[in-house]
Amino acid sequence: MACVLIVDDDRSFRESLVETLAGLGHQTLAAESGKQGLSLIERGGIDAVFLDFRLPDTTGLDVLREIKRLPAGRGIPVIMLTAYASADNTIEAMKLGAFDHLAKPAGRAAIERALVEALRSGGLSMGVAAVAKPGEFVARSELMREVVKLIGRTAATDATVLITGETGTGKEEVARALHQHSARAGKPFVAINCAAIPHDLLESELFGHVRGAFTGATSTRIGMFRQADGGSLLLDEIGEMSGDLQAKLLRVLEEGAIVPVGAERSVSVNTRILAATHRNLAEEVTAGRFREDLFYRLNVLQIHVAPLRERREDIAALAEHFLALASDPPKALSAAARQKLEEHAWPGNVRELRNVIERATILARGARIEADDLGFASRGPVSAASQTADTLPAALAQLEEAMIRKALADSGGNRAEAARRLGIHRQLLYAKLRHYGIEL
């Protein structure tokens, strides 16, 4: 039997939680304000705390900070409760040392599971008392809420993180959230797509070069590792990196120093590495295409981002988020349009959804988007397996062409600027233009 403190100003919920915990065999104490809750903790004897985010005299996060500072509060696992779940408050709570974060109304099974795990942990957490500027991150499904919790725990460390998931699932957004909620938030976040740059140029892009290092090197370039010094560097699609460059990256991770192309001396860097890939790197290691030692150095912590078809609760929320970005004032979704979005298989994941919403915003004549405006989502419900097997290459090609055309339009036809917006090298953009027959 444990002594559990409930801090919540909602009387009906508080009494319901007391009844649930008593039914599980635990003793309970209840407080309706942060001040009252802290007073009870100072008396000692509390084994776990359920803490609401919104209190009449303060915020749950402020109470959580105070609990971690109190001698009697150290080691007590705190489970946060909120009726207004968001990625930002979850991340901040986990950073500050909360053991878990439950959305109201929380069922008996979820409460029991969280409490059992919290008591078993002895209150151990990876949190630190740091507050970062919140970023935009949409998470409504349980799968993505678990990702958000991992971001909160992982952001408080300086460990290397491997982010996995299908193309277009939002791996870069996860990386940005990790950076924005870390102690490095005030320093640069730099992202590079390893698949978008020719292998012979990628080393120079990453490590920089000295003047005269190769033909065309008319000036010294510092490279992305040094651009991100003090901050974070995302190596997107790292599974496409060549073997010789993998060896050089491994040396950087082990020594904390880079050697610019053509240089004789190494340069120390303090850059947190975040890597992302749609490939199964363990299988790539077995096949001999990826270094095993580098895989283990990158895979210190792993965050997997599920495909959109497995987290349909996020679809409407993401669509509304993209609508707010695409128009001012944002257009609304009709019930039929929302249903059509939620039934679609989304082989291109979040990236495809954003493209669909941008296109529908342009095509919709009124202030509301109807089902007929969702041209890319016209096939309706399809099994994920058949959709991926039959149409994924065509869907991705269609999406890629649309993105290229939009980048060119947004940049006024400037191909160098369009390549920068797309995050790819100019030579690759030129090849794509020829492939799709796009003329300027």
Greater pLDDT, 120 or 348: 348
Q: Locate tokens 């509301």: which residue?
A: 368
Peptide bond into 307 cis (omega under 30): no
Does the residue 80 lie in any domain? Answer: yes
Q: 344 and 214, same structural domain?
A: no
Q: 292 and 155, same structural domain?
A: yes
Q: 430 and 382, same structural domain?
A: yes
pLDDT given at position 128? 28
Q: Which of 168, 151, 167, 186 is nearest to 274 (CA)?
A: 151
pLDDT higher than 80, residue 327: no
Q: Which of 177-181, 374-378, 381-385 has the highest mean pLDDT?
A: 177-181
E-strand stretches of 311-358: 332-333
Q: Which of 36-50, 76-90, 421-435 has the highest mean pLDDT?
A: 36-50
At 355-375, the pLDDT tens digits run 899 888 887 877 888 888 887
Kind and range of the H or E run holding 175 = helix 171-180
**Which range of residues forms the domain containing residue 152?**
148-304
What is the Cβ-side half-sphere exposure of residue 144, based on CA atoms within 13 angstroms?
Answer: 27
The radius of gyration computed from the CA coordinates of the chain, to the nearest angstrom, equals 25
Q: 241 and 198, same structural domain?
A: yes
pLDDT higher than 50, residue 297: yes
The total domain count for the chain is 3
Q: 234 and 187, same structural domain?
A: yes
> CA–CA separation, 217 vs 209, rounded Å?
8
Q: 203 and 314, same structural domain?
A: no
Does the residue 140 lie in any domain? Answer: no
At 99-143, the pLDDT tens digits run 888 888 788 888 888 898 888 765 433 332 222 233 456 777 888
CB contact at 8 A, 200 and 245: no
At 35-46, the pLDDT tens digits run 999 999 988 889
Q: Which of 91-105, 130-144, 222-236 has the highest mean pLDDT?
A: 222-236
Structure token pair of residue 302: 């792993």
> CA–CA separation, 116 vs 301, rounded Å?
24
Q: Which of 62, 96, 131 is the last residue of a domain?
A: 131
> CA–CA separation, 152 vs 145, rounded Å?
11
> CA–CA separation, 128 vs 53, rounded Å?
18
The confidence band for 378, taking pLDDT boundaries of 50, 70 and 90, is very low
Q: Which of 25, 64, 9 is nearest to 41 (CA)?
A: 64
Q: 277 and 166, same structural domain?
A: yes
Mean pLDDT over residues 316-335, rounded? 83
